[in-house]
Structure 1
Amino acid sequence: MDPLLAFLAIAAIVIGVLGVVLPLLPGTPLIFVGMWLATWADGYARVGGGTLLGLGLLALLGWLVDYVAAVIAVKRAGASQSAMGGAGIGSVAGLFGGLPGLILGPMLGALLGEWVSRRDPARAARAGVAAGLGFVLALVLKLILAAAMVGWFGLAWFVG
């Protein structure tokens, strides 16, 4: 394998793993790109198309988790549709605010959505806390998915 391609593949995987916890880096998609690059550079000799497809699905799931976890958590807390919509909007808007934005965006969005809908401070606070818990759950799920991707790829690459 070309050393430059190997370096780029490893760099993408490492940056992707960091991106699972750091804001504005698409963690699992970057991990997948690095794995695909390594596989391509190796001529698909060690890792096959089925494994790459599975890794791609895990990467997609990891990417989607960021956007839906807060909404699901808010819904499970019994909040209004406005709170769920606010959590979704806050999740997307929070992407531009770094780590504080990623945490506070869904929380503030859910809180404001519930406040606009019901004008009940206790329910609004509960919706905001649920969105925050959704962020933590999303982080844990992304870490699990990233570990699964790296483990699966490693098994396919080295054990084959």
Structure 2
Amino acid sequence: MDTTIAWFFLAAILVLIGLAGTILPALPGLPLLFAGLWLAAWADGYQHMSGTTLGWLAGLAALGMAMDALAGWLGARAYGASKQALWGSLIGGVVGLWFGLPGLLLGPLLGAVAGEWLARRDAWRAGQVGMATLVGLALGMLAKIGCALAMLLGFAWAWWT
């Protein structure tokens, strides 16, 4: 097998895993997607891809990761959550890492609810903050998927033009 074909094959594998990672929180989707796109550009000798385009792709990856990381926190904050709820969401997200997909989804939600309950002792308000956190997480996932699609489109545009 020609080594260039092997590099393109590895790049395609990284892109596919990266795309899966935009939906599955346990995988670093956008960094893997960027790595696959960069590897394809490198294997091609940068004939179709400029450094500027790769810089834009890296920026999109960083933006998507930042939006995904902050989304639950921003959702709770936009609803007017207490500092305890914001910290609870952050701690719940970190603890949730150890429990796979359910933990990644429920950790920030439960952390925000627990923090808001400790701050205000109002179950209704704590539930509302939890739902705002969940909406924020969903919007963060959508933003991450949007960045992934923009990366793919930007790469395709640069490759074929």
TM-score normalised by the chain length of structure 2? 0.94
In structure 2, C-alpha distance between the alignment counterparts of 1:49 and 1:136, rounded to whole Å: 32
* CA-atom RMSD in angstroms: 1.2
Whether 2:146 is the aligned partner of 1:148: answer no
Q: Deviations over 1:83-116 (max 9, x none)?
A: 1111112222222222211210110010011111
Q: Contact 1:9–1:38 at 8 Å: present in 2 too? A: yes
Partner of residue 122 from structure 2, selected from 120, 123, 138: 120
Question: Is there any run of 5+ residues in structure 2 with no aligned partner, and where?
Answer: none
TM-score normalised by the chain length of structure 1? 0.95
Query: In the alignment, what sits opposite 2:112?
Result: 110
Q: Contact 1:71–1:87 at 8 Å: present in 2 too? A: yes
Question: Is there any run of 5+ residues in structure 1 with no aligned partner, and where?
Answer: none
Query: In the alignment, what sits opposite 2:26?
Result: 24
Whether 2:151 is the aligned partner of 1:135: answer no
> For residues 1-160 of structure 1, what are the structure 2 equivalents within 5 Å?
2-159=4-161
In structure 1, C-alpha distance between the alignment counterparts of 2:156 and 2:14, rounded to whole Å: 15
Question: Sequence identity, in percent?
Answer: 46
In structure 1, C-alpha distance between the alignment counterparts of 2:45 and 2:127, rounded to whole Å: 54
Provide the aligned length of Structure 1 versus Structure 2. Answer: 159
For 1:56, the aligned partner's letter is A
SS at match of 1:43: coil
